[in-house]
Amino acid sequence: MSACPALFISAPASGQGKTTMTAGLARMHRRQGRRVTVFKAGPDFLDPMILARASGAPVFSLDLWMVGERECRRLLAEAAERSDLLLIEGVMGLFDGTPSSADLAAKFGVPVAAVISAKAMAQTFGAVAFGLARYRPDVPFFGVLANHVGSARHAAMLEEALPRDLRWLGYVAPSEEIGLPSRHLGLHQADEIAGIETRIERAADALSQTALAELPPPVEFQAEAADVPPAVLAGLHIAIARDAAFSFIYPANVALIAALGARVSYFSPLADEPVPPGVDALYLPGGYPELHAAKLATNAGTAHSIRAHVTAQKPLVAECGGMLYLLESLTDTAGTRHPMLGLLPGHATMQTRLAALGMEQIATPHGTTTGHTFHYSHLDTPLLPIAHSRRASSDEPGERIFAHGSIFATYMHGYWPSNPEWVATLFRGQWSVS
């Protein structure tokens, strides 16, 4: 059993300021010399980039379905042993989704601090806070922080509207120096946000004037023995594309293939870097290739090395944006068609409407691999899928799964620790699905 101060940052909905406040809290406590570990609920890739910048450490995912209760417990207990503070940022609203942030907070007894945007709101603030605190008695509730508060008088009205037994944690005023910009998949990537360090610092300054400047009470986390996988990838060199175009990478995925014995290196297609020498397998993760399609189309060095890798029949695993890079072309939202690598037959077109969203799973001879899908593109290809993923909430088919020569590709982002044995087969080019 490990005990550590811990807080779950949630809200009534998206857009309330959860990420900004969580990042500010992490930086504020880090400035005081504390070791802060931040987790992100759900399958998000973008928020963790900002939270990692704020905390100075990788941000792992927690999700009772995708990650699993046992692995969530292990991650929390291990973090509690090495940290002075644990922060968990929720996903969407506190009770949204199945499982929800509330389910996660209740399961591990982490008290919830609710961030509520008070813009264009007065006494109704109290009703919203009351509902969040009382809707489920099993969810431990710590207090309420008001965001986007116009003045000290506005703050006083909000505090007065709270039931006396709900803790007022303070307020944060609106500021262009704090807010984080967004785009179609959510927030911008940390490295793309102008003045990201200043924004995090200003958020930390604002929160230092609230009750959240003090550590929350400790929470006890039950230790869970780690499953030590055999080093079945020992001697294998896996290269991962990583830059602004290919950045949707779970830290847990990289940790897994390293634990399986693989040597991991990185290269940047955007910088026209070739595949590193001596590579046995490639991983092209998701990201934003559509925003950089013109550059990718002209980067001949990377293109030649990836084509040579595939010609040599070496395994290549591609997810979502990584799969789009392998196609013959990619058409952006302006209607411009860009040539891609031509290693998979077909064309993708970006659209302004969401094409797919949700948790999914792949059935394999080694068990189930969990993950999720989230994309705005449509793929036309003559390739026949070898299988489909399945939606978490039903038995309906999800994304197509393609195998073409040594390439394994799908829109689904896999959470690899859910099925280490199968992941090992992927990078040895011996994949199979049920």
pLDDT tens digit sequence for 336-357: 999 999 999 999 999 999 999 9
Residues 220 and 53: their CA atoms lie apart, in Å, by 27
Residue (of 423, 421, 396, 420) closest to 319 by Cα position: 423
Of 23-32, 96-105, 181-190, 384-393, the one with minimum mean pLDDT is 181-190
Please return the burial class of 214, using the count of CB atoms within 10 Å of its CB with bins 0-12, 13-18 and 19+.
exposed
Over the stretch 232-285, which tens digit does the pLDDT of each residue have?
A: 999 999 999 999 999 999 999 999 999 999 999 999 999 999 999 999 999 999
Are the C-beta atoms of residues 36 and 8 closer than 8 Å to each other? Answer: no
pLDDT of amino acid 187: 45
Structural tokens at position 324 = 């789009």
CA-CA distance, 14 to 419, in Å (whole number)? 31
What is the pLDDT, as a whole number, of residue 193?
59
Query: Is 72 assigned a catalytic role?
Result: no
**Which of the two residues, 196 and 65, has the higher pLDDT score?**
65
The structure's pTM equals 0.94
**CA 171 – CA 151 distance, rounded (Å):** 10
**Residue from 21, 320, 343, 401 carrying the catalytic annotation:** 320
CA distance 343 to 407: 9
The residue among 25 and 226 whose pLDDT is bigger is 25
Q: Residue 5's pLDDT is what?
A: 98
Q: pLDDT tier at 165 (50, 70, 90 boundaries)?
A: very high
Domains 2-221 and 237-427 agree in fold: yes
Q: Do residues 55 and 37 lie in contact, with contact meaning Cβ atoms separated by under 8 Å?
A: yes
CATH fold group of domain 2-221: Rossmann fold (3.40.50)
What's the mean pLDDT in 115-123? 96
Distance, in Å, from the CA atom of 61 to the CA atom of 242, rounded to the nearest integer, reads 19
- C-alpha pair distances (Å), 231 with each of 187, 235, 421, 426: 37, 9, 11, 15
Give CA–CA dist 182/178, Å, rounded: 13
Q: What is the pLDDT of residue 183?
A: 44
Domain ranges of the chain: 2-221, 237-427
Cα torsion angle, 302, 303, 306, 311, sign: negative
pLDDT at 395 over 90: no
Q: What percent of the chain lies above the pLDDT cut of 90?
A: 90
Class of domain 237-427: alpha beta
Lookup: tokens for 91: 């996903």
Mean pLDDT of all residues in 183-197: 59
What mean pLDDT is predicted for residues 106-116?
98
Mean pLDDT for the chain overall: 94
CA distance 398 to 204: 41
For residue 428, give the DSSP letter.
Answer: T
User: In this predicted model, which residue has the larger pLDDT, 332 or 180?
Assistant: 332
- What are the strands of the beta sheet with 281-284, ordered from one edge? 263-267, 237-241, 281-284, 316-319, 407-410, 397-404, 387-391, 356-364, 367-375, 413-414
